[in-house]
Amino acid sequence: MASVSSESLATALAQLEAQLPTASLGLAEELFAILAIVDGSAGLRRALTDPSRASEEKSALALSLVKDKVSAPAAAIVGRLAEARWGNARDIGDALETLAATVVLAVAENRSASANSGNSVSGVSALEELEGDLFSFNQVVGSSHEVQHALVEPQASESAKTDLAHKLVPGACAEAKVLIRQGVVHPRGHKTTKLIERFINLAAARQQRWIANVTVSRPLDDAQLGRLQRGLNALYGRELKMNVSVEPTLIGGVRVRVGDEVVDASVITRLGELRRQLAG
């Protein structure tokens, strides 16, 4: 994905984050349905990503396609995507797929967090379950040529393929079933297992938001660990799983990485900042 497209996707994901606490699988399914429309017309993709057209015009075109067909949140997401800049016409579809899958992952997080509000690894557990279901599906498909042929049989209906896919992992969670169905009925030119692998990678990346990798200069006792856990939970607004390692070269302080975000309060970092300020 080109740099300009990556920036647009990052913006879209940041905007989506505010909707995720109350998102539903219905929203994800609407976004996947819109993706099928976008993928079905090269002319439409070019129109939605044409840099010579005004953002408002592209957004209006996107909204006209889904008017009265999807919910207001789904329409708003598509409208914002059309307003953004894309380096390649296909990139808007890739972004829409990522957003839809992210909604599915968030629904799993929310379900688990609601059911296990006192469990410090609640968000991680749901994503691990989802990831495991997708992995199991790929293993079953990869081990059977008959199943592989059945899933791409042109005479078979989408519902028949979906029913077969779900029977391969009968205990899969609802969120996994949505992603498996998408991989079966709309693989977008890829092998079904390849698209499912992409969803697995998204789930693995999403898990990192729930894991705090903490580096300290010396071992912490239980009371200190408890205070640190409570402080990080309050800072990030969710129950984090905390992994702690000791690095004496820090001298003092603490360094925390949650996903791509680093909070560094070590003495070395503070001294480095002071030196840069003095040098400037």
- DSSP letter at 224 equals H
Task: From 43, 33, 203, select the one nearest 124 (Cα to Cα).
Answer: 203
CB 233 within 8 Å of CB 239: yes
Mean per-residue pLDDT, 149-176: 96
pLDDT at 278 over 80: no
Q: Provide the pLDDT for residue 209.
A: 85
- When mean pLDDT is compared across 52-66, 172-186, 253-267, the lowest value belongs to 253-267
pLDDT at 118 over 80: no
Q: Provide the pLDDT for residue 17.
A: 94
Q: Provide the pLDDT for residue 121.
A: 45
Q: Which helix (H) or strand (E) holds 202?
A: helix 192-207
pLDDT in tens, 64-105: 999 999 999 999 999 999 999 999 999 999 999 999 999 999
Alpha-carbon distance of 135 to 109, in angstroms, equals 18
pLDDT at 158 over 50: yes
pLDDT in tens, 145-154: 999 999 999 9
Return the residue matching tokens 């994905």: 1
pLDDT in tens, 131-144: 999 999 999 999 99
Task: From 130, 123, 59, 49, select the one nearest 86 (Cα to Cα).
Answer: 49
Q: Provide the pLDDT for residue 280.
A: 61
Q: Provide the pLDDT for residue 198.
A: 97
Q: Provide the pLDDT for residue 239.
A: 83
- Residue bearing the bigger pLDDT, 257 or 252: 257
What does pLDDT average to over the chain? 90
Pairing of strands 254-258, 241-246: unpaired
Q: Provide the pLDDT for residue 116.
A: 54
Q: Provide the pLDDT for residue 271.
A: 63
Side chain identity at 37, as an amino acid letter?
I
